[in-house]
Amino acid sequence: MPQHDAIVVGAGHNGLTCACYLAKAGLRVLVVEASPTIGGMTTTRELVLPGFRTDVHASGYQLANLSSAPDELELRRFGLDLIRPEVSLCKAFPDGTCVSIHDSVDRTCADIARTSVRDAEAWRTLYRGYLDGKDALRQELESAPRPWAEMLAEDLRGPRAGERIRFRFQSVRTWAEENFESESMRILLADFAGHAGFAPDDAGGAAFAFLFLAVIQDVGNRAVEGGMGRLAESLAACLAQHGGRIRTGAMVTRIRVGDGRAVGVDLADGTFLPAGVIASSVHPRRLILELLAHADLGRTLITDAEHYEVGAAQMGIYVALSEPVHYSVGATASSATQVHLMPPTIDSLADAFRTARADRLPDEPSAFVVNEAAIDPGRVPEGRSALKVVLTTVPYDVDWPRLGAGYARSVLRSITERYIPDLEDKILAVSVMTPPDYEADVSSAVHGTVTHGAMTVYQQGALRPTPELGQYKGPVGGLYLCGAGSHPGPGVSMMPGRNAAHLILAEL
């Protein structure tokens, strides 16, 4: 008989979430993780200098605010504490102006009205619509995805059907231009679409951008006190409380299949671990093309996995500072969780995407700053500070070993000249993570991506990652998908892990 009822492959936050629910229900659960530490893309490490703790991948705690998992798993009891600043994010411009999302819609609208009263009222109206549909949205995010035919049929019923269908597939450029007159609001929304790899003219960008900005207006762009790694630690503590175990340094090389069912996993050291259920939080491409390479899955499934688009690469620049810096737009930016900097217009953002997709380095990439130390001073030595600069529009196929350090310096120079005048004077040390660095650090960061697959309209919902795998069920019995390559997708939410666990328990 198997020593474990369930094995979860991957100790990222979704894998750990799935494991917690299974263990809480009484299953004997083992999580196996190739890395020596847990967390996946929710880790906090001293990347730059001793005493400077930085979030390596994920930083903002956004969609997780709508998740039921933190309360159901009592993560506060296991050490999860959140910080919500008054200013969630700020978009700064080279001319010294900015627009910000505050902790109340009234403050946000007052800020927007400095540029456009019409845009302030438009945001209030749109946000009211989000609140009206919030319960339905949460239900959709925390359930198995409905078939596309069913969703489209629902969109087509009743008045304003055309408007609903358009919005589902609309680019962020056309939607923003229809709803806002100022370039500042238009580019703010386009920046958020860019977080998931949507260029301004890509289909589907509007819905993603509005969802995330409305969620931030509602519940804040929070930070995890002590770093995002505390989320993984709280999940691990919850798992241990319910009898689950984690085995790190254990790379899975194959999911073994017998009589059409997953029966266990083979590790790189030759160990075979049997289990009644296997849940995978690894990248869908790796699951199908590597871990199940010997399972005779059929040509269609393999072709779909080969065609599964990985999405946009990212680059991180981690900066240790002698003391806090000052933004040219004023103190509002310093108090925000994130500050979106360049590019300043939708056209220039579109140019950055076109350049990156042509495998060239953009002169002006999409860049935002995470104010890690300003929001959570305990992450750095007293009196010091730190910033994390994320570039969301960089190519994968360039000579990064030769170009990476110089490109990072040029970005920091541009930020100093246009947005943070005292930045370069206060830099103690810099660490750079290029797309290949991210890929080497976490196997699921394929091509330096953070989304477990592009969020194109044909890789969402029941089509994520592929039509055959779109309901958390693997291609063989007893195998399930519980990572961000499944609905509702990327970001720190715990929802894919929770949704998969509910399906597993229902089927058991």
Structure tokens at 190: 């386009």
> 32 in helix, strand or coil?
strand
Please provide the DSSP assignment of 434-494 as one string. Answer: -HHHHHHH-TTSGGG-SSSS---GGGSGGGSS-GGGTTSB-SSBTEEE-STTSTT-SSS-S
What is the chain's Cα-based Rg? 22
Residue 1 has pLDDT above 90, yes or no: no
Residue 2 has pLDDT above 70, yes or no: no
* Helix H or strand E encompassing 246: strand 245-247
Through-space distance between the first and last CA atoms of the chain, rounded to whole angstroms: 17
Where does 156-275 have alpha helices with state H?
161-169, 172-179, 183-195, 205-219, 229-241
What pLDDT does residue 354 have? 97
Q: Average pLDDT for residues 424-442, to the nearest whole number?
A: 97
> 355 in helix, strand or coil?
helix
Q: What is the pLDDT of residues 126-178, one digit of tens each?
A: 999 999 999 999 999 999 999 999 999 988 998 889 899 999 999 999 999 99
Which CA distances in Å does 209 have to 165, 212, 371, 411, 412? 16, 6, 21, 25, 26
**Cα–Cα distance measured from residue 113 to residue 311, given in angstroms and rounded to the nearest whole number:** 35
Burial class (CB in 10 A: 0-12, 13-18, 19+), 95: exposed
Residue 249 has pLDDT above 70, yes or no: yes
Residue 333: pLDDT band with limits 50, 70, 90 = very high
Q: Average pLDDT for residues 70-89, to the nearest whole number?
A: 97
Structure tokens at 56: 């390596």
Name, in order, each residue with C-beta under 8 angstroms of 368's C-beta and a sequence gap of 6 or more. Answer: 191, 338, 339, 340, 341, 389, 390, 392
Burial class (CB in 10 A: 0-12, 13-18, 19+), 224: buried
Considering the segment(s) 4-44+59-81+227-309+453-507 as one domain, its CATH architecture is 3-Layer(bba) Sandwich (3.50)
Residue 55: pLDDT band with limits 50, 70, 90 = very high
88, amino acid identity: S
* Helix H or strand E encompassing 362: none
Side by side, which strands form the sheet with 98-102? 98-102, 87-92, 336-340, 367-370, 385-394, 313-321, 427-433
Q: What is the pLDDT of residues 200-230, one digit of tens each?
A: 999 999 999 999 999 999 999 999 999 999 9
Name, in order, each residue with C-beta under 8 angstroms of 273's C-beta and a sequence gap of 6 or more. Answer: 3, 4, 7, 30, 32, 264, 265, 266, 267
Burial class (CB in 10 A: 0-12, 13-18, 19+), 380: buried
Name, in order, each residue with C-beta under 8 angstroms of 374's C-beta and a sequence gap of 6 or more. Answer: 324, 334, 335, 385
Listed by start position, the domains of the chain span: 4-44+59-81+227-309+453-507, 103-219, 310-441
Where does 51-133 have alpha helices with state H?
69-72, 105-113, 117-132
Q: What is the pLDDT of residues 285-314, one digit of tens each?
A: 999 999 999 998 989 999 999 999 999 999
DSSP 3: S
> 387 in helix, strand or coil?
strand
Cis preceding-peptide flag for 475 (omega within 30 of 0): no
What average pLDDT does the chain have?
A: 96
Residues 11, 14, 16: CA angle, nearest 5 degrees = 45
Cβ–Cβ < 8 Å for 111, 424: no
Q: What is the pLDDT of residues 357-370, one digit of tens each?
A: 999 999 999 999 99
User: For the whole model, what pTM was predicted?
Assistant: 0.96
Structure tokens at 135: 């319960």
What pLDDT does residue 159 have? 87
In our burial notation (b when 16+ CB lie closer than 10 A, e otherwise), range 39-60 reads bbbbbbbebbbeebbbbbbbbb
Structure tokens at 80: 């999860």
Q: Average pLDDT for residues 432-460, to the nearest whole number?
A: 96
Residues 131, 133, 139: CA angle, nearest 5 degrees = 120
Structure tokens at 11: 């100790």
- Backbone dihedral region for residue 190 (phi beyond 0: left; psi -120 to 50: alpha; all else: beta): alpha
**Cα–Cα distance measured from residue 286 to residue 269, given in angstroms and rounded to the nearest whole number:** 19
The dihedral formed by the CA atoms of 236, 239, 244 and 246, expressed in degrees to the nearest 10: -10
The dihedral formed by the CA atoms of 94, 97, 101 and 106, expressed in degrees to the nearest 10: -170
Residue 274 has pLDDT above 90, yes or no: yes
Count the Cβ atoms, other than its own, within 10 Å of residue 104: 10
Which CA distances in Å does 439 have to 11, 288, 442, 444? 16, 18, 5, 7
Cβ–Cβ < 8 Å for 121, 181: no
Count the Cβ atoms, other than its own, within 10 Å of residue 158: 8
